[in-house]
Structure 1
Amino acid sequence: MTRFWMQLPQGGWVASRENVRVYAMLTEELGLHGLWVGDHIVIPPGYQSQYPYAASHPVPADRPFLDSYTTLAYVAGCTQRVRIAVTAAVAPYRHPLLHAKMAATLDHLSGGRLEIAFGAGWLREEFEALGADFAHRGAVTDETIEAMCALWSGEPTAYQGEHIKFDTVQCLPRPTQLPRPPLWIGGGGPRLARRMRRFGAGWLGPDLPLPDFLDTAAALRDQVGDAPVSAKVWLLDSVAEDSDELAISVLGPPRLDVLRKLAAAGVGDIRLDLSRLPSADRPRHIHAFARAVRKEGLLDG
């Protein structure tokens, strides 16, 4: 059965305590699988870096953007069943000692509901504001994931990498999910398949045209084997019949073609992106989505 993840209202004026709670409770009540957030600490005004998936990042610098792990901790306390995910956590933004402790604590307190995707990041100005290493972010990402996996063993751990070093420490509690929460690798590039093999992770696909997404997923399976694949799908008011966008609509006559094609290709994990819908319309679309996929036989209940 396909796992459907709903986007929390993390960025923009819709990002409020009340809305986060409403979306979390609604997702759980409708029987959807999980809730996801992205990861930024600051979005510097006037940045020049090119957002990889659109003309600009969907949340302007002068709007709220809730911290990923803190938001999910609040959601974990509001819910009982629904899973929670950071997709994708920018690995170089946090020291692995801090990152491993935060993630293990959240998995422990949520009863083992956390999943994490890791990415290397794209916003150079944010790296500079944080004092993080943009030039070597790929290598730092690899070392961060490796160090965090070692720390989650609960055993005394030291790490000596090229960019990350720390003497022997012990990180407790361990995550509830052993040996670690499910991991995903975001984006693409030459390191993708190697990271998936090395860390036993799935692929968190970026915003691509459907044919490109399916081709990349097939190529990865040739290299990595039957690793899980997650697609980000836009939930929109309408989708043109000839569109090759990863997008669906559920109002009027539902257009779920993309979901059928992804399911036929073995993609069992769908992250719904609501950010192109007016904020006032999103709860109505969530209800309509749950009805449509349940009728289609893609959701239990």
Structure 2
Amino acid sequence: MDFGLFYFADDVTTGTDRYRLLLEGARFADTHGFSAVWTPERHFHEFGGLYPNPAVTGAAIAAVTENVAIRAGSVVAPLHHPVRIAEEWAVVDNLSGGRVGVSFAPGWHVVDFALRPESYADRRQVTMDTIDTVRRLWRQEEVELVDGAGESVKLRSYPAPVQPELPTWLTSSGNPETFRQAGELGVGILTHLLGQSLDDLVRKVADYREHYARSHDGTGHVALMLHTFIGEDRGRVREVIHQPFTDYLRSSLGLVLKAAEELMPGIDPESMDPEDIDFLLEISFERYFETGGLFGTVDDGMATLRSLEEIGIDEVACLVDFVPDTDAALDGLRHLDRLKRRWEAQ
């Protein structure tokens, strides 16, 4: 398995150092053999609010690194014209010497579609169409578009990228159909454990591999986002992350409630009193700490990684920015690197 860094925390920092963890973490990943740095797209909310455009953060990462892959996790395809996606990421590909990759997502927050409301109803099909168009533009093929006079024209995007093919993933929150679609398209899958368990992933990853093998060479690529904090003492790790991770879950309460639907069908956040919400958040924290994240010591991490290897995970995308103390988060990278080196040395 490869180890990447993933960023998607709520915007709780102030001042001029808001991107210190992103840039210093990227430099650390670059010099310590990590595979990639992933940044997301998020709009109109503190949760993920530091990352409205992964092409911009990707360009910043390109400027301070030399080796690590620079990936979008994810571009919300229905919010953009495919030419803009191809153009922006071709620039980053050139800046980085050919190190970019993009995971595409259909989007999940209706408010985000204030940017492009006409795409919301058919967002999944728009995503598939956008992926196809972006990949063709990336290959420097002409695509047919309609100009300002309503005329059909064939156009090619610029600049030409460095890589002949765009490394591509499809983002899934757990829908089995998305895993199958990714396999049929011959792209990777980027997923997480919010609303699905490791047991669920066993079937979905196997299904993805089967659909991939039917039409494409190779076995594809499965990247799993995991909230991550590794330290020297399990109790101390728990103490450090308990409050910030609970606050992080609170800031993404809608996603937590979605994940809790099986336990509490028909749950309505408006009808929950503060004590109910606190109880739900504590249950969520316990689940993540015990089975849904990469938390604890190097020994704890090794046990988790063995489980992921059995499932067939190719890359652990370690979400590291939920701890607002940048120094503590950067120190955690040292221990994460110890885990990575021990895993690689087996």
**TM-score range relative to shorter protein:** 0.7 to 0.9
Farther-moved stretch of structure 1 (18-27 vs 90-99): 18-27
In structure 2, how many angstroms separate the alpha carbons of the residues matched to 1:257 and 1:71?
33
Change (3 A) 1:227 1:64: closer
What is the deviation of 1:176? 1.2
Match of 2:311 among 260, 265, 278: 265
Q: What 5-or-longer segments of structure 1 have no aligned partner?
A: 45-58
User: Do the aligned partners of 2:186 and 2:212 also contact (CA within 8 Å) in 1?
Assistant: no
Change (3 A) 1:108 1:36: same
Change (3 A) 1:211 1:9: closer
- Aligned residue pairs total 277
1:178-232 Cα shifts (integer Å, max 9, x gaps)? 1x22111111436524532453201112323211122211122233232211111
| Bigger fraction of residues in helix | 2
Instruction: Confirm or deny that 1:176 pairs with 2:162.
Output: yes
Instruction: Confirm or deny that 1:26 pairs with 2:11.
Output: no
In structure 2, how many angstroms separate the alpha carbons of the residues matched to 1:12 and 1:241?
24
1:240-260 Cα shifts (integer Å, max 9, x gaps)? 799773312244854332211
* 1:108-257 correspondence to structure 2 within 5 Å: 108-158=94-144, 167-178=153-164, 180-187=165-172, 188-189=174-175, 191-193=177-179, 195-207=181-193, 208-225=196-213, 226-236=219-229, 237-238=237-238, 245-251=291-297, 254-257=300-303
Structure of larger gyration radius: 2
1:31-83 Cα shifts (integer Å, max 9, x gaps)? 2111111112x225xxxxxxxxxxxxxx448x544521101101101111111
Structure 2 SS opposite 1:171: coil
User: Could you tell me the TM-score, scaled by structure 2's length?
Assistant: 0.71
In structure 1, how many angstroms separate the alpha carbons of the residues matched to 2:12 and 2:80?
26
Q: Residue 265 of structure 2 corresponds to which residue in structure 1?
A: none
1:130-180 Cα shifts (integer Å, max 9, x gaps)? 4342111011111111111121221332158xxxx96311113322111x2
Structure 2 SS opposite 1:255: helix
Change (3 A) 1:168 1:28: same
User: Do the aligned partners of 2:40 and 2:51 also contact (CA within 8 Å) in 1?
Assistant: no
What is the deviation of 1:103? 1.3
User: Do the aligned partners of 2:170 and 2:189 also contact (CA within 8 Å) in 1?
Assistant: yes
User: Do the aligned partners of 2:74 and 2:171 also contact (CA within 8 Å) in 1?
Assistant: yes
In structure 1, how many angstroms separate the alpha carbons of the residues matched to 2:178 and 2:22?
32
Change (3 A) 1:252 1:92: closer
Q: Residue 320 of structure 2 corresponds to which residue in structure 1?
A: 274
User: Do the aligned partners of 2:183 and 2:208 also contact (CA within 8 Å) in 1?
Assistant: no
What is the deviation of 1:13? 3.2
Q: What 5-or-longer segments of structure 2 have no aligned partner?
A: 214-218, 230-236, 239-284
In structure 2, how many angstroms separate the alpha carbons of the residues matched to 1:242 and 1:119?
23
User: Could you tell me the TM-score, scaled by structure 1's length?
Assistant: 0.81
